[in-house]
Amino acid sequence: MIEGRDLGSRILRLYLPLAVCLVAMLFPFYWMLITSIKPNSELYNARIMPLVVYHPTLKHYVDLLTQTNFLIWTYNTMLVAVVTTVSSLVLGTMIAYPLARMNFPGAAVVAIGVAATYLVPQPLLFIPMADIINKLELGNTLSAVMLTYPTLLIPFCAWLLMGYFKSVPRELEEAARIDGASRFQAMWRVVLPLTTPGLLSAGIFAFTLAQNEFLYALIFLSKSEVRTVPVGVITELIRGDVFYWGQLMAAALLGSIPVAVIYSFFVDYYVAGLTAGSVKS
C-alpha cells in the first residue's frame, strides 16, 4: 500500500510534469512535420483538424529542393558557421586565457569590456559594419558575414571560457612550468584538456548563433546564391502576402537537423560544461 502511494506520488511530482514539458518542447517540431507533409488541399482547409494528416505527401520537400537554392543555402550556412565558430573559439581562447590566468594591470577592466561588447545590440553595429564591408568591397560574399559574425561570437566565447579557465587549479599549471613546459605548452597540454566541456559548450552555442543569425546575413547577402538558410527561406518563400507554409516548415525542419545532430553527439560534454563549473584537483 505504501509502495503504491509512493509510486503515485512520484508520477504526480516527477513524471507528469516531465511529460507536460516534453510535449510542450516537442510540439513545435510536430507542427512543423505535419505542416511540411500536408498537401495544400488539407493545409488551407479550415474544416480539417490541423493536427492530423490524412494524405501525407513529400511534395513540399521536393519543391523546396528543386525549385529553390536550399542546398546551396545549407552549404553556405554550414561553411559560415564552421569557419566563424572555429575562429571565434581560437580568438576567444586567446582573450580568455590571459584574462583568467595572468595578473596584469587592467585585466578586470578588459574582462568587463569583453562582457559589455557582447551585450551591445546588433542594430547599433550593422551601420558601421556595413560601411566597413562596402569599403572592403565584400558585399554579396560569404566573407562579409565571416568577418562580422565573430564580432558577436568572440566576446561570448571569451566571456564563457574565462569562467572555465579560472576553475582549473593553478598548481597544475605551475607544476607543468616547473617541469620545463612553456606557458603555451602548459595551456595546451594542461589547461585546455581540462576545459574541454567549456570549449564544446562555447562551440555549440557559437555554431547555433552563427547558423541562425539573420540581421547581418540579410544586409550583406542579397544574391540568392550566397544567402544562408534563414535569409533565403524568408526572402524567397514569403512573397508579399503569400506564405508557402509547406516549404517553409520543410526548410525549418531540415535546417534544425545539423544542430540536433551536433547536440546528440556532444550531449555528455555539453551537459558537463553547463553543470560542472569547477575542476577537481
pLDDT tens string, the chain, 281 residues long: the values are: 555 566 667 777 778 888 889 899 889 889 999 999 999 888 888 787 888 888 889 999 999 999 999 999 999 999 999 999 999 999 999 999 988 888 778 878 888 888 888 788 878 888 888 888 888 888 889 999 999 999 889 998 998 888 888 888 888 888 888 888 888 888 888 888 888 888 888 898 899 899 989 989 998 998 989 999 999 999 989 887 888 999 999 999 998 888 888 777 776 666 655 555 444 44
CA distances for 27 relative to 22, 34, 56, 237, angstroms: 8, 11, 18, 23
What pTM, to 2 d.p., does this model score?
Answer: 0.83
Sign of CA dihedral 248, 253, 254, 259: positive
> Who's near 167: CB < 8 A, 6+ residues apart?
195, 277, 278, 279
Q: Secondary structure of the chain in the HEC alphabet? A: CHHHHHHHHHHHHHHHHHHHHHHHHHHHHHHHHHHHCCCHHHHCCCCCCCCCCCCCCCHHHHHHHHHCCHHHHHHHHHHHHHHHHHHHHHHHHHHHHHHHHCCCCCHHHHHHHHHHHHHCCHHHCHHHHHHHHHHCCCCCCHHHHHHHCHHHHHHHHHHHHHHHHHHCCHHHHHHHHHCCCCHHHHHHHHHHHHCHHHHHHHHHHHHHHHHHCCHHHHHHCCCHHHCCHHHHHHHHHEECCEECHHHHHHHHHHHCHHHHHHHHHCHHHHHHHHHCCCCCC
> Who's near 43: CB < 8 A, 6+ residues apart?
35, 245, 246
Q: Where do the domains of the chain lie?
A: 2-57, 60-275
Topology of the domain comprising 60-275: MetI-like fold (1.10.3720)
